Amino acid sequence: KRIMTTFPEASFQYGSQTYVDRKNLLLPKGHFMDAIAISGIKPVGQMPETVTMISQFRKKKRSLHEATARKGRKQPNTSSKRNEKNTKYACGLWLNDYVRVIGNHVKGYVKGFKSNGYYVYLTDGLGNYVLNSGRNYVNTKQCQLITHNGSWQKAEQKLSLYKFK
């Protein structure tokens, strides 16, 4: 009731009607296909070949403590040395920057940093590590910034490989 009073000019469509509309348009099952059916388009001119997924992620990880301490128990705690946690920026690159590896056609998003930022972990937009010479990390000096994305990621995948959930 509250939705109807808040948005009186909106029209609502339920799944049973969307199913019928999608079948009449000869569209396969999927969230974006349901959106096409709901939009009221009568003929579908061209089927999409790729799916674009946009997601947001948290830059500041909440876990600041480790389950097992990295320093060990044999070394006395006289210097109170702390390991850097939640590195967001290193050597000119931020988390989630889209970069290209120089001398290679490999592109990916910066997932994390290794060895005080001398190396970066790269992933594609789907969360899979991008391998460069069999390693999932790349020297920061070999990375060239394509674009800074903030906390948003965009990934494109062929429709034939996309798994409907």
Q: Which has the minimum average pLDDT: 21-30, 41-50, 69-78, 101-110?
A: 69-78
Q: Is the pLDDT of residue 161 over 80?
A: no
What's residue 82's pLDDT?
Answer: 63
Q: Which two tokens stand for residue 51?
A: 């799916």
Q: Are 106 and 122 in contact (CB under 8 A)?
A: yes
Provide the residue type at 44 as one letter: V
Q: 4 burial class (0-12, 13-18, 19+ CB within 10 angstroms)?
A: exposed
Amino acid code (one letter) for 50: T
The residue ranking higher by pLDDT, 154 or 58, is 154
Q: Report the candidate in 85, 81, 80, 87 with the shortest Cα–Cα distance to residue 65.
A: 85
- In the structure, what pLDDT confidence band is assigned to residue 80 with cuts at 50, 70 and 90? low
Does residue 86 carry a pLDDT above 60? yes
Q: Where in the chain is the domain with CATH 2.30.30.30?
A: 48-58+86-160
**Architecture of the 48-58+86-160 domain:** Roll (2.30)
- Please provide the DSSP assignment of 8-73 as one string: TT-----HHHHHHHHHHTTPPSSHHHHHHHHHT-SS-----SEEEEEEE--SS-S--S-SS-SS-S
Share of the chain above pLDDT 70, in %: 79
- How far is Cα 151 from Cα 58, in angstroms, rounded to an integer? 7
Q: In sequence order, which residues have a C-beta less than 8 Å from that of residue 76 and are 6 or more positions away?
A: none
Residue 76 token pair: 């006395």
Which residue would you say has higher pLDDT here, 101 or 150? 101
Entry pTM: 0.59
Say if residue 108's pLDDT is above 80.
Answer: yes
- Would you state the pLDDT for residue 34? 85
Distances, alpha carbon 100 to alpha carbons 9, 63, 66, 128, 154, in Å: 47, 29, 32, 16, 15
- pLDDT tens-place string over residues 36-75: 888 878 887 787 788 787 877 766 666 656 565 555 556 6
Q: Quickly state the pLDDT bin for 124 (edges 50, 70, 90).
A: confident
